[in-house]
Chains A and B, each alone.
Chain A
Amino acid sequence: AQKITQTQPGMFVQEKEAVTLDCTYDTSDPSYGLFWYKQPSSGEMIFLIYQGSYDQQNATEGRYSLNFQKARKSANLVISASQLGDSAMYFCAMREVNTGANSKLTFGKGITLSVRP
């Protein structure tokens, strides 16, 4: 089974509107972290936001917020007030802590977001 699932096709959003990018995950580890990265056409992976499995509050970082629903195993990224520079690939990733591998990130396949002027 895939650990990280991102199934949305390419997403489009109007500039200044909000958009939600979906991510579901699968793990039996009670301790894990969820990450979102942005990858523009230049190729660099840019860290956006992190949510820990034991965190009580949903994470927020500026215009980014994470809608964390633990029971449903979903960690959707919400981008508010979209900007043209938000056009990029977005990856959801997970790190499982107690498997003895407090190490690698497992990534989903990504979602392409295009912001329309």
Chain B
Amino acid sequence: DTGVSQNPRHKITKRGQNVTFRCDPISEHNRLYWYRQTLGQGPEFLTYFQNEAQLEKSRLLSDRFSAERPKGSFSTLEIQRTEQGDSAMYLCASSLDQGHKNTEAFFGQGTRLTVV
């Protein structure tokens, strides 16, 4: 499978617990993005990496959220002390940076988080 892979696909957790999601991008892609999508809305940008460097973080990414991409390949997104408002679909995408040429981002199937 050469697409973007996300695990797990679904996660149910109790409020206050920590959760971690994993994203494996397309292998030659140097950019990796995390988005959050709530019901009836479009995806909202959370953060992105160029190789292992985290270059931009949205204000949506509170201090309970942390993302890593330690070797410039897969990435993890951790949410500490989950709240019900964190319930959403978390989407990962990757793309190949070619300077100023716009390139499309390819998305994974997402991880649906439900906080109860």
A contact set with B: CB distance below 8 Å: 4, 31, 33, 35, 37, 42-47, 50, 52, 91, 93, 95, 97, 101-110
- Judging by beta carbons under 8 Å apart, are B107 and A45 in contact? yes
Residues of A within 8 A of B70 (CB): none
B112 within 8 A of A: yes
B105 touches A105 (CB 8 A): yes
Indicate which residue in B45, B97, B104, B107 contacts A44 across the interface (CB closer than 8 Å). B107
Stretch of B19-27, B36-44, B78-86 that contacts chain A:
B36-44
Q: Which of B41, B45, B109 contacts A109 (CB 8 A)?
A: B41
- Is B33 interfacial (CB-CB < 8 Å)? yes
Residues of chain B lying within 8 A (CB to CB) of residue A107: 42-44
Which residue of A43, A47, A103 is within 8 Å of B33 (Cβ)? A103
Pick from A42, A104, A110: contact of B45, CB under 8 Å: A104
B interface residues with partner A (beta carbon < 8 Å) = 31, 33, 40-45, 48, 55-56, 58, 89, 91, 93, 97, 100, 102, 104-110, 112
Which residue of B is nearest A34, CB measured? B102
A65, B58: Cα distance in complex, Å: 32
Given contacts A42-B109, A108-B42, 12 further A-B contacts (CB under 8 A): A43-B89, A47-B105, A50-B104, A102-B97, A102-B100, A103-B31, A103-B56, A105-B33, A105-B43, A107-B42, A109-B40, A110-B40
Residues on B with beta carbons closer than 8 Å to the beta carbon of A52: 102
Instruction: Name the B residues within 8 Å of A35 (CB-CB).
Output: 104
Q: Which residues of A contact B55 (CB under 8 A)?
A: 103
